[in-house]
Structure 1
């Protein structure tokens, strides 16, 4: 696509809910929605196997290529219609982050793109909305754990990754984009003005606070929609509004936990939105025939980019 300011770039982050296994023909539906959105680069989460990922790429078509984390349960994937530089592939030790360079076709431009899927245990908003929780330390105990596998720990691991920090240092020439499911709210969203929907708390969630303060990365959705009161942008959840305990009578806590962040003076987000297709969907446990295959809303950001 072209725009009056130069070239545009569409980024998508998509938690695939066990790679489509929770709905009928789920893999085909993931392919369908990616083709409808026409992104340039996609950060995927919850990929199940390398064999299934190959089948997925075959369904997408020859113009797509991708990489996944090289473990039994790959989890994170990055796909694109542009050209992946495999030599730049970098994966953090706990497999929570993966990055590489992507060369844009018909251009000399390069993107340093990082896919994320942070730890899902001890989900912070559940603690914050528990009336027996009285101290911030109790909430934060799930963000940095004794065995160092919490979401804050995942971010520290990323910040200790040499290739990531080098990419940030070069972001004036090669833009950096970080996208994925963080499994934590943003510190930009839990503010004094909306404490009443957050269990009475104002919280600087450590993962997003640490990542943005140490890197200068900008939250693309919140840059366009600065008020979390006016535009919450919740991505959790599409179909788990009520949990199976207590006969689906207790509501889940909705929040924005999927992000597209960037660092570059040459990139500017001009559109960002959450996505769940255009068809209505049923809640769990009546979700199997849903057209949209995920329990997360996807996030899309369109960037304008002035070509050198």
Structure 2
């Protein structure tokens, strides 16, 4: 009777704090179908090594044939082990192409998430240095899917760790039931059983907000405080193309050097290009919130990432509101543009450059992409006096502010009215580097390329702004104590937030 009353009380608390009614709730009370142990509340499903019969539990297919948004939440305590395990799964086998999602524990102790629909799949593999659940303590895992925005959000212990844009996934529809504690395997169905305990499984047919998830964790433990920008403090922003995930100087050492550069710069928010699988480990090493827009573009932030913004094609553009504190937020946008042909290579080889052909090509490719992006983000631009906008990117183009009469000798005698930089100024943005360094002959701000000394030098990475921001410092980083890991300079601008 005591357990029943406790379960009812916890259920009512969950409804009050989340403001939502679970579509399914499994508190793992004592039952003949499984063994129990003390849980985060009442009893928990015990699948530890002290239990003789350790079979995964088949639960109702709550989300089967469901095409809307949902949130899945559970508590886990993983025993000391060196194997990887599935905690929750809507797939019925280890077939990598089977439709469905999984939440589990990696062999290194960190948790993980996977989802797949045929040939389309996404994974979130955080690091044990920041997100281990194999430490003998209870941990809350939360995963939500926003069907309208095609986004997944991941939480550990009430804190939002990452947001992924995952197009091509048809909501939660899966052929099988929900398994808790592993996927049955082997002659007696225990081969893959999780070594540990599970408790308080909740499924909502809606997306819980970060505040609701935080409140659900706070019922049991005190959440970590969120970082905020204190009044009067400056905001440091970086744009960084990290060159194939930072892996070119080593798949371990390269991303670590990228992390070193970001940390030493003091950057609060990073607009990243060529993320390519290194985002989780860089964000975890920094202790930052992480938004993966595509395999190319991502945002990392010391401060909480709020609602993501409508954007153009994910490979080229994406953004999010960054909550600096309770009173202030900014719209932060990351970008990448292509180019019609390699004019830098032509100049390196002293080949003649037809300016009309170059500008026409840029108009057709580079500037056309930018126009499409500016059209989509127009509502945020128009609202910049209320919510400032920072627009960063590797735009793969020189600037009309740099290729001028005074710099002819540095640019093989050419003056070029590059269209992308003109479009940004026409849209009301200010080039932060040129605001601080107005003379392109004195301060070139070169970002291409510190990796290749013979490359033609150009400024192709930018941090633009609009609204109540004032740049106080802007600089590039092209060195590392051991070896610089990217072919682009990191560009940093420090802002005063008015």
TM-score of the aligned structures, taking structure 2 as reference length: 0.51
Distance 1:123 1:139 in 2: 10
How well do the aligned residues superpose, as a CA RMSD in angstroms? 2.2
- Equivalent residue number for residue 291 of structure 2: 67
* Contact 2:280–2:290, Cα closer than 8 Å, also in 1: no
- Equivalent residue number for residue 446 of structure 2: 234
Shift of residue 2, structure 1, vs aligned partner: 8.7
1:299 to 473, 485, 491: 491
Distance 1:7 1:108 in 2: 14
Shift of residue 129, structure 1, vs aligned partner: 6.8
Distance 1:19 1:171 in 2: 32
- Equivalent residue number for residue 272 of structure 2: 44
Distance 1:156 1:228 in 2: 26
1:260 to 457, 463, 480: 463
Structure 1 residues 15 and 132 mapped into 2: Cα distance closer, same or farther (>3 Å)? closer
Structure 1 residues 93 and 185 mapped into 2: Cα distance closer, same or farther (>3 Å)? same
- Equivalent residue number for residue 158 of structure 1: 373
Q: Which protein has the larger Cα radius of gyration, Structure 1 or Structure 2?
A: 2
* Contact 1:221–1:260, Cα closer than 8 Å, also in 2: yes
**When the two structures are aligned, how many residues end up with a matched partner?**
269
Alignment map for 1:1-308 (pairs within 5 Å): 6-24=232-250, 25-49=253-277, 52-61=278-287, 64-70=288-294, 74-86=295-307, 88-93=308-313, 95-105=315-325, 107-127=326-346, 133=352, 135-145=354-364, 150-161=365-376, 164-213=377-426, 215-242=427-454, 252-264=455-467, 266-279=468-481, 290-306=482-498
TM-score of the aligned structures, taking structure 1 as reference length: 0.81
Distance 1:58 1:267 in 2: 28
Deviation by residue 1:154-186 (Cα, 9 ceiling, x = unmatched): 11111221xx11111111111100112111111
Distance 1:129 1:139 in 2: 16
Comparing both chains, which one has the higher relative contact order based on Cα–Cα distances under 8 Å and sequence gaps of 6 or more?
Answer: 1
Q: SS in structure 2 opposite 1:91?
A: coil
* Contact 2:271–2:299, Cα closer than 8 Å, also in 1: yes
Structure 1 residues 178 and 153 mapped into 2: Cα distance closer, same or farther (>3 Å)? same
Deviation by residue 1:241-264 (Cα, 9 ceiling, x = unmatched): 23xxxxxxxxx2101111111011
Q: SS in structure 2 opposite 1:122?
A: coil
* Contact 1:129–1:199, Cα closer than 8 Å, also in 2: no
Distance 1:157 1:144 in 2: 12
- Equivalent residue number for residue 247 of structure 1: none
Q: SS in structure 1 opposite 2:233?
A: strand
Distance 1:128 1:229 in 2: 19
* Contact 1:123–1:184, Cα closer than 8 Å, also in 2: no
Deviation by residue 1:117-169 (Cα, 9 ceiling, x = unmatched): 11145134445677654642221243134xxxx211111111221xx111111
Shift of residue 103, structure 1, vs aligned partner: 0.7
Distance 1:134 1:81 in 2: 43
- Equivalent residue number for residue 287 of structure 1: none
Structure 1 residues 81 and 94 mapped into 2: Cα distance closer, same or farther (>3 Å)? closer
Q: SS in structure 1 opposite 2:274?
A: strand
* Contact 1:176–1:262, Cα closer than 8 Å, also in 2: yes
